[in-house]
Structures are given as C-alpha cells and as structure tokens.
C-alpha cells in the first residue's frame, strides 16, 4: 500500500472509432517507477535570506499516457489508475487536481472518465496551432490520499497525459465557393497552374486526401488535374491539355472536389472558373524554395524579419512583382506584414514566444501583367525566447485540505509532515530562463517537498508540509512566503504567500441569539434583495469557529438563499403576499471542525402588502338582460371585482365610462342601476365600460366591458300594412275553390314571440266561405258561391301576436261577389258604409235573397193571373195605360233631351206602338211635380245616427209605381246628399229583358271599376267622415221593367227593401 498521496499527470489521445471506450494505457519504458524514492532536496544559501531550503526542480518525464478519440460521449472510461498502475483500489481517496472540466475521477477507484463537456481536439487551447504531424495532449493531475492514516500521512500526486486522437468531424473546405484562375492564351500544353488549396481542421488521415476535377464537354480535352505533394501538403494543379484561344472562348467553369481520408469520408466542392487571358509568358520565380528565419520575442513594431525575393523574366509590367501573404492564419496576419514591392516582412504586432513559438505561412509573388502569373513559397519563422516571464507560484489545496481566500486551516493535532498545500512553480520561458529555484522564506515550521517525479523544468510541483507539531495555544496562525527565482540573465523572481490557520479541537456548537428571528419584508421585491442577517457564534476558534450558514428546509431554498459565510439571507424570487403571507424556516450554522457541529435558529418572514395587483373583475366581460319599460333606478346587474391586495390597496371604487347619465353603479355592492326607462324599440343594446380603481398609492385600475340587452315586452300591438280597410276585392260567383282572395300583411315592432303573428277571421264569414292561413294571413276561398252570396262581404280579421298577454288588431277585408262590377261608385258606397257598421254585425252577401225567392214565386203566379186578365181586358185599356206612362217621363230640375232608360224606337215596319198624328202630347210638368213629390214620400229616407258608433241606415222602397223617375238622375240633380254617379246600362231594345234576367233579382249593381280598389279612403265625389251619414244605393230590376214599358212587371216589383239590423 502506498503511503501519503500521489499526483498523476495524463495525456489523452484519440483512438480510432473501432476501439473500445476504455483506451489502452501507454507507458514510457524509460520512465522511473511511480512511487519510488524521490531525489533528496539540496540546500543552498542565498543572499538576503538567512537560512532557506532550496529544492532542485529536476524531475523525470511523466510516465502515464492514455490515448482517446475526441468527441467521446460523457462517462467514457479513459483509464483506471488503480487497475493500470497497480495503485490501491480501497482505503484511498482519488481527487482530480488538474484536468477539469473535461475529466472526472472516481474517488475510490481512480477511474478517469469524460464529462458532459466533450474533448474537441480543434478547440483545445494547446492544440489550436499545431502543424500536421504534431500531437495534441491534455494534461491531468490526480492526488491520492490514504484515508486509513488520515490527512497527516500526506497526499501523493500522479501526473499523466492524454493524447487526443483526431476524428473526422470536420469537412475540408475551399477558401471560397468560387475559385478564379487566369491562364494566358496560347499557353503550351502541359503547363501547370496552382489551384488554391482546401483546408481541413482535422489532421493526419482525416485531413485532405485527394482532389478531383469535373469538366464540361467544352473543357474535357483542355484541362486535367494533377496533385503535387510538398511537405505532406497536397497541392492541386491544373494541367493545360489543349490549345486555348481567347477569341473562341474566354472562360471555362470547372468543378473541383476535395475529399478527406476519414471513414466515412467528408467532401466538398467549389466552382473553378478558368479565365483565358492575353499572353503573359513567364511566372515569377522565388530565389529559394523555402525561407526560414528567427525572430526575438518582444521585437519592436517595424522590425524587419527577412526578405523574400522573386524574379520574372518578362519585361515591363509583366516583370513587376507584388508580394502577398497567402494562407496566413489570423495570428500571422496580426503579428506580421509584408511590403508588396520589396517582399520584406516586418513585425506588425507584439510577438510573444509563449503564445506563438513558430509562425508558418506562404508568400505569393504575382506579376502585374494584364494576365498576371503567380508563384508561391513557404516561410517559417521561429520565435526566440527572452527571459521576460517571472516564475509563477500557484498555491492550492491538496487532498482533503482546502483553501479559502488564501488561508489553509489545519488542526493542531495533525502529525509531522502533514501536507498543507500543493505549490506549483512554472516559468513560461524556455531553456535556462525556465529553470526555477523554490524556497520557503522565514523561520516557519514548514518545508517544500517535491510532489512528483517529473523532470519538466518549466513546471514543478511541491508539497508544503509541516516540520514540527503545531500548538494552537502558542501560535494560532502562520504567514508562509514562498520565493521562486529563475536562471535567466538577469534573473527574475516572484513570491506568493499562504496563511496557515491553526485550529483547535472542535468541542463547541454554534449558537444563534436569539433563536427566533422575525422580520417584516415588503412584497414586490427584486431577486437578490437582502432580507436579514443571521449571526451565530462559536466558542471554538479557527476552523471550528468558522461557520457556514445554510437553510435546512429544501422548500425554503426555492425562495431564499443564505450566504454560507456571512449569514446574509436574500430572497431569490419575487415574493407575492397574495400567494403566501408568512414564511417560516430554519437556518443552520455549521462549523468546519471535524466532526462538524451545527446550531439552528428559526426565521419568520412576514410579507408586507404592496399595491401590486390591479382590481380584477370576475368575468372578462359582463352581459345583462333587462325588460323594457322597467322604471329608472332599478338594478340592471351586479358585477364582482376583487383585489388580491390588502387594506387600502384592496379598497375598490367603481365608475361608469363614459358617464352619460344613463347608468350608475353602487360601490360596495357592484350593483348597476339604470337612470332611464328602457324602450327596446328605440334602443335594444347599451354598451359601456366599468372602471375599477383601488385606493393604493399609486392607484391601480382595470376595465371591463358591460353590455345591457333590453328584452322585449309585448307593449306593441300588431299593425296591418295591407290591405287598407277601405279597399275591396272583386270575385265572380264562379270563382273556383282555393283561389287566393287576399293576403293580410301585418307587422309588430316587438321581437321574438311578441312579434310572431297569428291571423284569424273573427266575423263576416257566417257561411264559412273564406279561410285564412294562421301563419301567413293568406285568405282563400273555402266554399263555392251560391246566389245568396252575391254582394259585399266584410271579413273581420284579427291579427294577434303570441305575447303574454297577447295583443291584437283588427283588419277589414272587403270582398265583392257579383257577375259584374261596372258600377264602382256603388261598390265604394257599400264599402264606405261598411266602415261605420259595428263589427259584430255580419256583412255577407244579399240579406233578402230568400225573401226575394219566395216573392218571385208569388209574383210569378200573380203575373200569370194578370196575364190572363190582361188578355181578356180590352186592347183600349192596355193602350190607355201605355199612353199614361209615356206622359209621365222623368223631369227633375230640367228636362233632358234623351231618356237614357227609354227603349229604342221600333223598326220602320211599324210594328211598334203608333202615335196619333197631329196630336201634341199633353203638358207633363204638373204631373211630374206631383210624381216627384209622391216619390219623395215613397222613398222614406230614414237617417239613423243615434250615436257616433252607429252607422247610418237608409230605408229605400224597392218597388216604385210605374213611371217613377230614374233614381240615378234624381240623385244626380236634386238630391241634397252626396252625388253618386250611377251609370245604368242601356242594352238594346231586343235585349233589355235578357239583361234583367241575367242579374240577381234583389242585388243588382251597375257600375264600373277595377277588380281591386286602390285602398284609398277618398272617393271622387264624396268622402266619409265620423258623423255624417254614408249612403249606399241598390237599384232593382224594376227600373228596367218600367223603362221597357212593362208596367205590370214593374208593379210586380213594387215592394220595400231596407237596411236591417241583422245583415244587409
């Protein structure tokens, strides 16, 4: 078993992909055995120091080498120190001292693994500027501590290297996707022209392997590719295989492809554009095939390094040469420049050998001809070292001993030779300038002991260990100063110090006073704000009194953090009182003694409120429904608003915006009141915003939209738009069933069921002749007409909505049934009279039809008897009667020149009645006056208008004595009542009787007019008002009989017809 600790330094190399994850260790045969006897330190006496311990920094090369391929996944095993080196695998602690963050070491077995950060050969600091063939190494150090003997036995240091092997993870690339090459015309066959090389960040076989050229049909016989090898570099060259003639074709586009040697291979391509130029015979030629020079570091700017020189056999501008740096790295371009005309290379920036020891690049010589030619040469500049770096001293903890802010703590009970620190001394110079001597200055009980067997002069490691037992009661701490001097001329030196704190045995527990810490802390904080400081004391000293603070509850660590050294508690996140108003957790103070002791305290954080919450409405928008006609100042709706803050910050006031006076809101209840009465038909929707403002400082507010929908109330009755009450529809008696008579159209400005209308016939349809559609209002003929149905029909239609309670209106639909409709004036009189007839009285056709039928039988019998009597009566009696009728013609007001109702004269053959010649007729005026007076008495006009609601009734005698004047003419001339234009028909003498027979006996109307009236309540010769009586005339067949000269027929019609209380 090894005693103490060992430090191991490793280099990793990349293995091919087919190798296993665990790389085979490679050992140097000439290396000494790890753990062997170390060279004894030699003592020297230096000026300015009384007595110092001088340790020669000589050592042998590292003896452990691993190889691993780059870009390995995490936790790939690189090597096992215990298994590969025969080191102990139990009872020891392995700790990685150098090599992070790329490596980690198993503390028990010493196995070395990769980490989450991959090893990328191309990005490692020491491998960025390697040339082909150079190896890439990653160094590491591992300390080994014997846990059985404890820290007093001292650690051991193992050093090693890992050679990072390249893998093909980079694609070769040309400098540009389009490469341009100029070739003079008439270039001889076989001439070579250099093509810009491709670069590959990989190395070895993974670097550039081969080039290939693709040409089109026009260039297939003109060009080919040749690849030359120069210092392991593959140089692509274009070979001219045919004669080029610029006048025929001045450019060719070729494709060049580069492939690396990796497996699998990576490739890329570029467009090679060959431009044929005028003749330029000779290319520049350098005097040397390779230029080398040395340059001292820290050379001043403008210092000339070397001069490259090329010659061109051409003359004039074709022989003038420009020099250009070619394929130079960023470092070369930063440090050097070249004079384009002379080829002298100058120092441009600060040259530091420790950064760049070799500068390698190419210089291109290019003539100035119109079709310039170029040549290239490689330049290598080695940077010569100067002693410009003082030794660097790094002091860090080793094994279980840790340092904090330059202080190492060690217990007074530690044995002699206990390692307190690992001291690493290095010098970035080289040669003698890097040989360093290390000493511990002063009279202190500590010394340096070599920590490794490495012979690297530039980097040496020592253990700083005790030489005697430490006594805490005598000396509590030591200040140790380490001096390092190099061998340069003049020599450079540096110093570094370490404070060693001697600690006593840990026998006291940290104590908080008081044990309960309560603090008020306002919400709305910033992450990282200080909450409070917790302080604990420990009666011990040193590390036993060096306390580390922590929060015990894991849940509290999500919101709070504590400075482990100062005990300052800070908040990590934003506190929200509305989420949690009080936090309680425990904090601990643990000393750094072994074993550690811990004290605890309770922390209570009361979160104070800030106005950091806007008032919040429960809904993102409110919509309320109200019934129209609701009185003002009634509740419309209630909104709920909350504020998660506390106190005044949560007191909320509500406002209506815009405040137009229509609505107001009660603070406290959130009740919205209306200051108006709603009428849905005027405005059905109201939209406004509510603003909620809290009482915080500054106040916060929020808004919400409110929509008030006015619900319909059945406050409007339907109104009829069609037909007008004064209009009528004409139907002939032969109208077929289901004929559309009229459509009642109505509207209701309410909505919903209140506007759904139902149509029904409430009156005027005693015979069931008509049917109305309840939904559409269409009136159709339901039964066929008979003789008694002739005349005017007034349908009382009720239009009712479906509201609750329902509202209705009434419409009058007039239907006139007759064979003809020639006397429009008479029909309009009938319709006008209907408007003032109570609705509970049916107006439906001819009311005297049945009586007329019975009368016709009686009259027929009487006519037969009268006929027999008339046959018996002498011809003279009949003749006398005829003469009397002729003399009593109509003369009302003035004598008309022609009697419209008089029959036409008979034919010339004399078959008509003869008049005595030479005998003038008797004067008829007195008789006419008597007859007119008798007519006035016989008409018996009764205007019954007892009240406003009653319609006037006219009682007319239906039968008139023979020779009665024409009623139409009478009313037209003398009647004080409104004039009614009657236009009697005057059929020819041969058809008068036929015309009478075609009309219904008791309901014959003569007039003109359209089938449907215009719906107007105004008439041509008269108008209807509320109080004046309205008239309607009926003219019987008696007029035709009297005019035709049949007094006995006229006498048969002598009967009265009047307006009845039941129907017409």
Q: Convert 949-977 into a string of H (helix), E (strand) and C (coil).
A: CCCCCCEEECCCCCCCCCHHHHHHHCCCC
Element (H, E) at 994: helix 992-998
Determine the Cα–Cα distance for residues 859 and 881; give it in Å rounded to an integer. Answer: 20
Buried b (16+ CB within 10 A) or exposed e, 816-841: bbbeebbbbbbbbbbbbbbebbeeeb
- The upper half-sphere exposure of residue 887, i.e. CA atoms within 13 Å in the direction of its Cβ, equals 16
Q: Would you state the pLDDT for residue 98?
A: 86
Which residue has 């770096």 as its token pair? 389
Which segments within 523-677 are labelled E, that is strand? 530-533, 536-537, 547-551, 560-562, 568-571, 582-591, 598-608, 616-617, 621-627, 635-638, 641-642, 652-657, 663-666, 671-674
Indicate whether this model's pTM tops 0.95: no
Element (H, E) at 864: helix 849-872
Whether omega before 264 lies within 30 degrees of 0, making that bond cis, reads yes
The tens digit of pLDDT for each residue in 233-260 reads: 788 999 999 888 877 888 899 999 999 8
Provide the sign of the torsion angle of the four alpha carbons 199, 202, 207, 213, taken in this order.
Answer: negative
- The upper half-sphere exposure of residue 634, i.e. CA atoms within 13 Å in the direction of its Cβ, equals 11
Which residue has 């991959």 as its token pair? 118
The answer to whether residues 497 and 473 touch, using CB atoms and an 8 Å cutoff, is no
In terms of Cβ atoms closer than 10 Å to its own Cβ (0-12, 13-18, 19+), residue 1026 is exposed
Determine the Cα–Cα distance for residues 736 and 877; give it in Å rounded to an integer. Answer: 51
Buried b (16+ CB within 10 A) or exposed e, 446-476: bbbbbbbbbebbbbbbbbbbbeeebebeeeb
**CA geometry: angle at 218 spanning 217 and 220, to 5°?**
60
The answer to whether residues 54 and 39 touch, using CB atoms and an 8 Å cutoff, is no
The answer to whether residues 788 and 850 touch, using CB atoms and an 8 Å cutoff, is yes
Residue in 172, 155, 180 with CA at minimum distance from that of residue 238:
180
Determine the Cα–Cα distance for residues 822 and 985; give it in Å rounded to an integer. Answer: 9
71 — alpha (psi -120 to 50), left (phi > 0) or beta?
Answer: left
Q: How is residue 152 annotated by DSSP? A: G
What do you get for the CA distance between the two ends of the chain, in Å?
Answer: 142
The tens digit of pLDDT for each residue in 477-491 reads: 899 999 999 888 888
Q: Would you state the pLDDT for residue 388?
A: 84
Q: Would you state the pLDDT for residue 867?
A: 74
**CA geometry: angle at 231 spanning 226 and 236, to 5°?**
20
Q: How is residue 658 annotated by DSSP? A: S
Query: Low-confidence residues of the chain, pLDDT below 70?
Result: 1-63, 129, 131-132, 150-154, 231, 278-281, 371, 453-458, 542, 849-856, 879, 881, 883-1064
In terms of Cβ atoms closer than 10 Å to its own Cβ (0-12, 13-18, 19+), residue 61 is middle
């Amino acid at each position: 078993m090894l005693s103490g600790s060992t430090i191991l330094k490793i280099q990793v190399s990349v293995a091919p992909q087919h190798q296993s994850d665990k790389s085979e260790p490679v050992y140097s045969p000439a290396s000494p055995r790890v753990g062997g006897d170390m060279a004894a330190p030699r003592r020297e006496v230096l000026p300015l120091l009384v007595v110092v311990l001088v340790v020669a920094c000589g050592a042998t090369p590292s003896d452990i080498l691993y190889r691993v391929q780059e870009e390995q996944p995490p936790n790939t095993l690189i090597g096992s120190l215990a298994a590969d080196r025969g080191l102990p695998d139990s009872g020891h602690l392995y700790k990685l001292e150098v090599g992070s963050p790329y490596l980690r070491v198993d503390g028990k077995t010493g196995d070395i693994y990769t980490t989450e950060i991959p090893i990328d050969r191309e990005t490692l600091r020491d491998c960025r500027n390697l040339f082909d063939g150079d190896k890439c190494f990653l160094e590491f150090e591992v300390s080994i501590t014997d846990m059985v003997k404890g820290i007093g036995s001292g650690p051991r240091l193992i050093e090693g290297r890992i050679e990072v092997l390249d893998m093909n993870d980079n694609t070769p690339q040309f400098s540009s996707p389009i490469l341009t090459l100029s070739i003079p015309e008439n270039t001889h066959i076989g001439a070579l022209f250099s093509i810009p090389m491709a670069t590959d960040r990989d190395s070895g076989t993974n670097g550039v392997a081969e080039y290939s050229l693709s040409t089109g049909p026009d260039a297939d016989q003109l060009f080919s590719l040749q690849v030359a090898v120069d210092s392991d570099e593959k140089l692509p060259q274009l070979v001219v295989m045919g004669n080029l003639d610029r006048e025929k074709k001045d450019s060719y586009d070729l494709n060049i492809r580069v492939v690396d040697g990796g497996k699998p291979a990576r490739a890329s391509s570029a467009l090679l554009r060959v431009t044929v130029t005028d003749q330029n015979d000779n290319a520049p030629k350098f005097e040397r095939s390779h230029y080398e020079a040395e340059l001292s570091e820290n050379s001043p700017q403008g210092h000339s390094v070397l001069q490259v020189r090329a010659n061109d056999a051409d003359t004039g501008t074709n022989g003038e040469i420009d020099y250009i740096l070619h394929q130079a790295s960023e470092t070369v371009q930063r440090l050097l420049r070249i004079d384009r005309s002379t080829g002298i290379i100058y120092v441009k920036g600060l040259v530091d050998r420790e950064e760049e020891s070799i500068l390698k690049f190419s210089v291109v010589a290019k003539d100035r001809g119109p079709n310039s030619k170029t040549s290239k040469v490689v330049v290598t500049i080695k940077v010569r070292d100067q002693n410009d770096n003082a030794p660097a001293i790094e002091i860090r903890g080793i094994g279980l001993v840790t340092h904090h802010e330059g202080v190492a703590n060690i217990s007074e009970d530690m044995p002699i030779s206990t390692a307190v620190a690992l001291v690493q001394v290095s010098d970035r110079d080289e040669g003698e300038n890097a040989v360093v001597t290390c000493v511990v200055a002063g009279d202190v009980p500590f010394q340096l002991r070599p920590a490794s067997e490495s012979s690297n002069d530039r980097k040496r490691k020592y253990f700083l260990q005790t030489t005697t037992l430490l006594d805490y009661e005598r000396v509590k701490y030591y200040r140790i100063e380490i001096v390092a001097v190099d061998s340069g001329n003049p020599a450079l030196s540096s110093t570094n110090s370490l404070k060693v704190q001697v600690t006593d045995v840990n026998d006291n527990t940290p104590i908080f006073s008081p044990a309960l810490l309560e603090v008020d802390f306002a919400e709305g904080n910033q992450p990282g704000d200080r909450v409070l400081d917790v302080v604990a004391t420990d009666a011990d000293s040193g590390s036993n009194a060096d306390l580390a603070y922590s929060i015990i509850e894991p849940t509290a660590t999500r919101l709070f953090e504590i400075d482990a050294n100062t005990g300052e508690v800070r908040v990590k996140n934003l506190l929200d009182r509305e989420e949690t108003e009080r936090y309680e957790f425990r904090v601990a103070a643990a000393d750094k003694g072994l074993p550690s002791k811990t004290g605890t305290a309770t922390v209570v954080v009361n979160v104070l409120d800030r106005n950091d919450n806007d008032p919040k409405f429960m809904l993102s928008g409110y919509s309320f429904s109200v019934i129209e006609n609701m009185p003002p100042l009634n509740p419309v709706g209630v909104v709920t608003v909350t504020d998660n803050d506390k106190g005044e910050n949560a007191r909320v006031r509500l406002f209506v915006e815009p405040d137009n006076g229509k609505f107001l809101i009660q603070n406290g209840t959130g009740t919205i009141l209306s200051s108006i009465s709603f009428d849905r038909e005027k405005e059905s929707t109201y939209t406004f915003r509510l603003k909620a403002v809290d009482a915080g400082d500054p106040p916060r507010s929020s808004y919400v939209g409110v929509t008030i929908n006015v619900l319909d109330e059945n406050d409007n009755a339907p109104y009829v738009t069609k037909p007008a009450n004064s209009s009528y529809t004409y139907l002939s008696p032969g109208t077929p069933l289901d004929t559309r008579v009229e459509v009642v159209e109505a509207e209701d400005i309410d909505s919903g069921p209140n506007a759904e209308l139902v149509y029904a016939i409430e009156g005027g349809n005693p015979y069931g002749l008509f049917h109305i559609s309840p939904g559409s209002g269409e009136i159709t003929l339901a039964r066929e007409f008979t003789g008694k149905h002739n005349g005017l029909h007034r349908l009382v239609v009720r239009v009712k909505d479906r509201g609750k309670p329902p509202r209705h209106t009434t419409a009058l639909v007039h239907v006139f049934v007759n064979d003809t409709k020639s006397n429009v004036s008479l029909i309009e009189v009938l319709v006008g009279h209907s408007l003032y007839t109570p609705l509970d009285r049916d107006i439906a056709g001819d009311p005297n039809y049945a009586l007329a039928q019975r009368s016709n039988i009686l009259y027929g019998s009487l006519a037969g008897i009268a006929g027999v009597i008339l046959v018996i009566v002498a011809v003279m009696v009949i003749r006398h009667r005829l003469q009397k009728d002729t003399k009593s013609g109509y003369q009302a007001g003035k004598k008309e020149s022609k009697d419209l109702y008089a029959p036409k004269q008979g034919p010339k053959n004399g078959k008509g009645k003869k008049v005595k010649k030479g005998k003038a007729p008797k004067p008829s005026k007195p008789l006419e006056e008597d007859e007119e007076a008798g007519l006035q008495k016989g008409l018996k006009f009764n205007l019954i208008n007892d009240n406003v609601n009653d319609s006037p009734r006219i009682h007319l005698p239906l039968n008139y004595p023979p020779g009665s004047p024409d009623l139409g003419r009478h009313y037209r001339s003398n009647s004080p009542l409104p004039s009614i234009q009657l236009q009697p028909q005057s059929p020819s003498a041969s058809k008068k009787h036929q015309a009478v027979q075609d009309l219904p006996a008791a309901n014959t109307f003569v007039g003109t007019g359209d089938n449907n009236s215009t719906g107007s309540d105004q008439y041509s010769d008269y108008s209807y008002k509320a109080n004046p009586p309205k008239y309607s005339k009926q003219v019987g067949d008696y007029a035709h009989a009297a005019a035709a000269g049949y007094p006995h027929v006229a006498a048969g019609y002598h009967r009265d017809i009047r307006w009845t209380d039941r129907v017409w």
